[in-house]
Amino acid sequence: MRFAALGCVHGNYLALEAVLADIKTQGITEIVNLGDMVSGPLDANRTAGIMMGINATCVRGNHDRYVTDWTLDEMYPSDRLAHSQLTAAQMEWLRALPFSAIYRDEVYCVHATPDDDNTYWMEAVTPEGVVHMADIESIEAKAAGIAESLILCAHTHIARSVRLRDGRMIVNPGSVGGPGYRDVAPYPHTLEVGTPNACYAIIEKREGRWDVTFRQVPYDHEAMAALARKNESLAWASALATGWIR
């Protein structure tokens, strides 16, 4: 079994196209998409169009849910922009995506955690706003009851894999399209990946063990930074241009 895992495209269709081209170059035909396809000051319409055209196993992200289920007043500005860009058919497709999925009977897929689509799994935030790896006890507690030996999540945009003490693996492939963001929960913090490259993972089962390769794909990130600037999101523009929010 060999497949690509990706997530958190956030309307960045150029990054998605670059990742899909890289996946094809690797000879991989199966893709798991971990959600947050839309929302972001970019192009939700083109992104959803690409995703709907490929045969990926998809789960829904918290922002996909905000865009389809929240009122315009409740939405963050990036959700509202995505909402204005999406067709009725694209909205319906996003709304119908499952919260979680089992891929090929062996891989548990979810956007954030099994209980909530807006909770960090392998990371924690201090009251001072420092993002760090969570302790193994809290990571394992969220994995209780999952029988699959490989667990995939996204949401935090940090590419990471953690091996649980019972041998199960949790993998976050990082973010295809959002190399940085600011959030307010559980405490105000800034997340910066440190590179503008598009991130995803290639996963292969070899002799009963999971082999994970994190990929970073260069693409025309300046074009996406310019689009974010045009849509008046300077934090996104900075992250897309450099991997940092300054």
Q: Tell which positions 167-196 bind Fe ion, by CB under 5 A.
A: none
Query: What amino acid occupies position 35?
Result: G
Closer Cβ to Fe ion, 12 or 210, answer by number: 12
DSSP-based three-state secondary structure for 170: strand
Stretch that binds Fe ion, among 15-23, 60-68, 92-100, 199-207 (CB under 5 A): 60-68
Closer Cβ to Fe ion, 48 or 210, answer by number: 48
Q: Does 61 bind Fe ion (CB under 5 A)?
A: yes
Under rule CB under 5 A, how many of the chain's residues touch Fe ion? 4
Q: How far is the CB of 185 from Fe ion (least distance, A)?
A: 12
| 152 token code pair | 């995939």
Q: Which of 68, 70, 65, 33 is nearest to 52 (CA)?
A: 33
Rounded to a whole number of angstroms, the distance between the first and last alpha carbons of the chain is 41
Q: Does 64 bind Fe ion (CB under 5 A)?
A: no
Q: How far is the CB of 195 from Fe ion (least distance, A)?
A: 19
Closer Cβ to Fe ion, 36 or 192, answer by number: 36
| 235 token code pair | 């934090």
Give residue number: closest CB to Fe ion.
155
DSSP-based three-state secondary structure for 4: strand
Closer Cβ to Fe ion, 37 or 210, answer by number: 37
Q: Which of 39, 54, 56 is nearest to 155 (CA)?
A: 39
Helices 77-85 and 62-69: crossing angle, nearest 10°?
Answer: 70
Map 184-232 to HEC letters. CCCCCEEEECCCCCEEEEEEEEECCEEEEEEEEECCCHHHHHHHHHHCC
Q: Of these, 22, 36, 43, 123, which contacts Fe ion (CB under 5 A)?
A: 36
Q: Of these, 83, 155, 189, 215, which contacts Fe ion (CB under 5 A)?
A: 155
Q: How far is the CB of 7 from Fe ion (least distance, A)?
A: 8
Q: How far is the CB of 132 from Fe ion (least distance, A)?
A: 19
Residue with tokens 């990926």: 56
Q: How far is the CB of 215 from Fe ion (least distance, A)?
A: 20
Q: Is 52 within 8 Å of 37 (Cβ atoms)?
A: no
Q: Contact letters (x/-) for Fe ion, 65-94, by CB under 5 A?
A: ------------------------------
Closer Cβ to Fe ion, 36 or 123, answer by number: 36
| 44 token code pair | 């939700």
Q: How far is the CB of 206 from Fe ion (least distance, A)?
A: 30
Q: Is 100 within 8 Å of 43 (Cβ atoms)?
A: no
Q: Of these, 12, 33, 47, 62, which contacts Fe ion (CB under 5 A)?
A: 62
- Between CA 88 and CA 96 the distance in angstroms is 12
Contact positions vs Fe ion (CB under 5 A): 36, 61-62, 155
